Amino acid sequence: MLTINATQVRKDWSAILDTVTREKPIFIKRTRDEMFLANIGFLDEILSLYKFHANIFVEENGSITISLDEIDLVENAPTERDAIHKLAASIHEYSQDYYEDYGYWAKGHRKAHMPYVFKALMIGDIHKIGGLIECRHGGT
């Protein structure tokens, strides 16, 4: 892999940031640690492939339950629109909690949540997150 030594990165910090911002990501090695430095646009492009998918169920009382496939989140509300909004808020909140305690949440089966968490964090807006939830009716 093409890496730059961390000592060189420290010496040329301003030039490294210019390269990452305007040209390409950079791989950095420090002793046994390997890192990747990229601009946010690069991460946004990688995460563009990740989508939120949910199943919608109409309950016996007429309320709507929506269940997210990628992360174990479920919400219920009187209308589909309200349920999607509540689910988007839950995704946003879960992503913030995940990031705040990253060392704990990014282990085990929750490691697979990582790209969805970062996608939600980058979006940062509940209404925009809600607009990205692809829903399918799962039953009545």
How many CB atoms sit inside 10 A of residue 35's CB? 13
**Look-up of token digits 């968490």:** 117
Task: Give 133's strand partners.
Answer: 52
Q: Nearest CA to 73 among 89, 57, 58, 61?
A: 89
Domain ranges of the chain: 3-38, 46-139
CATH number at 3-38: 3.40.1620.10
Six-digit token pair at 34? 């390997």
pLDDT tens-place string over residues 80-127: 999 999 999 999 999 999 999 999 988 888 999 999 999 999 999 999
Q: pTM to 2 decimals?
A: 0.86
Cα(39)–Cα(112) distance, integer angstroms: 22
- Confirm or reject CATH 3.30.160.620 for domain 46-139, answering yes or no: yes
pLDDT on residue 139: 52
